Amino acid sequence: MRETETTTLEINGRTREIAAPPNQTLLETLREHGYFEVKSGCEKGDCGACAVLVDGEAVDSCLTLTGTLEGRAITTVAGLKRGEELHPLQAAFVKFGSIQCGYCTPGLIMAAQSLLNETPEPSDEDIRLALSGNLCRCTGYTKVFDAVQEAARVLREEESAS
Ligand code: FES
Ligand code: FES
């Protein structure tokens, strides 16, 4: 049996004590604990399918060891949901048909949210750069870029109304 160490993570707003071997990746940990919305693709940092937010910034969970994340806040695509309502990014991906098989979608949405956390009014070039580590075989990227622009606009409106 492999040795384990315990790491405290806040996952989608819930504090969890995670016992994991020192070499376990965050991707492995999350899927082992039922966060199947985090997708496993290349497992070597090339596709972005596994991206989650760590303290608001997108990381490839396949390249991140769980034991290095003591006390950090992890957000998966499911954690963006607002009760029964979709988050504006999720809603915009649906509206613009930016989802076909959907395998890339959680990672794309995480990368987009990470961008919008830093840059509420991104240029097309900002979006292209921010999503450049996320591969999609199905949609062509135009609908994804349109969805991110729409979500950015909705989020800015929400911010100015608050
Ligand atoms: S599975 Fe992590 S980048 Fe591909
Ligand atoms: S929608 Fe299929 S890989 Fe992106």
Return the sign of the alpha-carbon dihedral for residues 125, 130, 135, 139: negative
Cβ-in-10-Å burial (0-12, 13-18, 19+) of 141 comes to middle
What average pLDDT does range 143-150 have in this prediction? 97
Per-residue pLDDT tens for 48-69?
999 999 999 999 999 999 999 9
Residue 12 has pLDDT above 90, yes or no: yes
Query: Does ligand 1 come within 6 angstroms of the Cβ of 40?
Result: yes
Query: Cα torsion at 80, 93, 135, 64 (round to 10°)?
Result: 0
126-146, pLDDT tens digit by residue? 999 999 999 999 988 999 999
Could you say which ligand is closest to the alpha carbon of residue 44?
Answer: 1
pLDDT digits (tens, 9 = 90+) for 78-125: 999 999 999 999 999 999 999 999 999 999 999 999 999 999 999 999
* Ligand 2 atom nearest to CA at 139: 1
| pLDDT tens-digit readout, 26-51 | 999 999 999 999 999 999 999 999 99
What's the CATH architecture for 5-79?
Answer: Roll (3.10)
We find that the CATH architecture of domain 81-161 is Orthogonal Bundle (1.10)
Alpha helices in the chain (DSSP H): 26-32, 88-95, 105-118, 124-130, 142-161
Give me the pLDDT at residue 2, please. 66
Question: Is a pLDDT exceeding 70 seen at residue 1?
Answer: no
pLDDT score for 162 = 85
**Mutational pocket test of ligand 2: of 47, 94, 137, the residue with most ligand atoms within 8 Å of the beta carbon:** 137
Q: Write down the pTM of the prediction.
A: 0.95
**Residue 40: helix, strand or coil by DSSP?**
coil
Q: Which of 39, 90, 98, 105 to mutate to test the pocket of ligand 2 (most atoms within 8 A of CB)?
A: 105
Listed by start position, the domains of the chain span 5-79, 81-161
104 lines ligand 2 (CB under 6 A): yes
Ligand nearest to the CA of 143: 2
Ligand 1 contact, 43 CB (< 6 A): yes
